[in-house]
Amino acid sequence: MTVCPRCQQGEIKAMVLRKMKQPIWVCEECDAAWLSNEISFNSFEDYGIIMERMGLPPLWSELSEP
């Protein structure tokens, strides 16, 4: 289990963006997200911002497990 470096509470989940087939790692607690498996406090982005940039709604239903 990888604990989120942003909130220190949530677990980082490896997921896939359904429509893009792109891997993404998301904190289930604070929605910090990474497009690389190099998880650090300095490299997170907000899940909603990533999704907006990709033209997708910021919903967990847009994700699937790998």
- Residue 27: in which H helix or E strand, if any? strand 22-27
**Would you list the domain boundaries of the chain?**
2-64
Which pLDDT belongs to residue 16?
98
Which pLDDT belongs to residue 50?
98
The pLDDT of 58-66, averaged and rounded, is: 96
Which pLDDT belongs to residue 60?
95
Which pLDDT belongs to residue 37?
94
Q: What gap in Å lies between CA 25 and CA 7, rounded to an integer?
A: 14
**How many residues are listed for the chain in this entry?**
66
Which pLDDT belongs to residue 1?
82
Over residues 1-58, the pLDDT tens digits come to 899 999 999 999 999 999 999 999 999 999 999 999 999 999 999 999 999 999 999 9
